[in-house]
Amino acid sequence: MGGLWLSLFAALLAAAALAGPSLAGRFPVAVWYLTGYPVTALRVVWTWRKAATLNDLAVAPRPARGLIGELIVKGEALRPVAPRISWPRPTRTGLTVTVRLHPGQTPEPYLAAAEALMHAWRVHAVRVSSPERGLVRLAATAGDPLKQPHLATAPKALLSALVGILEDGSAWVLNLRQVPHWLIVGATQSGKSTLLARLVTQLARQKVALIGIDCKGGIELGLFDGRLSALTTCRKEAVAVLGALVGELHDRMETCRTYAVRSVWDLPDDVRPVPIVVLVDELAELYLSDGTRAGKAEAEACSTYLLRIAQLGAALGLHLVVAGQRVGSDLGPGVTALRAQLSGRVCHRVNDGGTAEMALGDLNKDAITVAQAITTDEKGVAVCAGADGAWAWARSHHTSVLEARKTAMAHAHLTPELRPVRKALAEVES
């Protein structure tokens, strides 16, 4: 049986050599299955015992004959017993290995040994998970799928946006029906604005209302003004629009009570109101006041309205996507309360640990260290976490300003009119 496996691997390697390296760019998955997987699988099996021993994953054998007290009177050293592993199973971007733990072992030592295994197997990364008690799954990624992100296919659905690629090569989709509110953080030139632009280009094609809150004078979201049902460029306008949206929430509650349903998605198609997505660029501009009484009142109003929308919006078709360079508790207690309602998190490269802690700390502590390791050269790379607390590397598909604006203008005819919002904004401008 062993000879058969060796013959099969030799045949695959010979075929790969004849195919040539030019196929790697055109058919990366096929080339991986043909050449990369056989070599890596053999390396995993060959190095497993030594890697397990060096990283304290192996255990001492059960004492047998020749035992006097705690001494072994035998002429040869005891050989630690490495945990049993399955044969490496190939995936599109790497392979997986299932480890059966020894009695008394836990997955924590495997988390600590992940980097050592990555070097031993000569792969890009090794992720550790425990699918069931007594088992640990080691998922090795052969290369960096985020280095050259491409558009993966994803099912088209309302409020679902294909924004990039995940570390396993699958599509990175922000589905607002599943995770209704998102917090996106990132320093300047980290890819935060690119992700927002990509999100707008995806939602612009759908029958949804987009509202932009950009208190930096509208220099970011103002590029998509043609597809926005409303755009605020200062905090005073933001207070008026957010207040109108809270009023819209109460109207939708009345409609749901009238039809005896718990969500707008249970309403008849001809009655269901249009979904609304509120895009907030630079959250700190809404919370920081200038010290005046009016400024403090506006900041408190913004905090109250945003929290109200986040608490009630999911069932009523009103969603928040909040972005900021720095998001910390020093902005006020309202930020922490709002963070608790934003179950979707995206953390790009940040300038301080507090922002990474605010974005990922309450979901997964391990993800904080990973997010802080993102370098300035990895633009668009982020740590994405959902409501279940699981995190993954991700990279948004590059969307230029020209492309995003062109898409927004091409779908301007889909922009729904929100009369209460327009009225509130007009009253402030007058």
Binding annotation: 186-193
Task: Decide: 101 and 83 in contact? Cβ < 8 Å.
Answer: yes
The pair of three-digit structure tokens given for residue 69, joined into one six-digit string: 């007290």
d(C-alpha 23, C-alpha 168), whole Å: 21
Residues 6 or more apart in contact with residue 164 via CB below 8 angstroms? 149, 171, 172, 195, 198, 380, 394, 395, 396, 397
Q: Which residues are part of a known binding site for ATP?
A: 186-193
Residue 57, judged by CB atoms within 10 A of its CB (0-12, 13-18, 19+), counts as: buried
Q: Which residues pair with 209 in a beta bridge?
A: 276
The neighbour count for residue 359, using CB atoms within 10 Å, is: 28
Rounded CA gap, 136 and 128, in Å?
7
Residue of 160, 190, 189, 158 lying closest to 172 (CA atoms)? 160
Extract the tokens encoding 204.
Answer: 């612009």
What residues are paired with 165 via a beta bridge? Answer: 171, 395
Which DSSP category does 107 fall into? Answer: S
**Count of CB atoms situated within 10 Å of the CB of 199:** 25
Give the 3-state secondary structure of residue 44.
Answer: helix
CB 415 within 8 A of CB 227: yes
Q: Where are the beta strands (DSSP E) in 266-380?
A: 276-281, 318-324, 344-347
SS (H, E, C) 122-145: CCCEEEEECCCCCEEEEEEECCCC
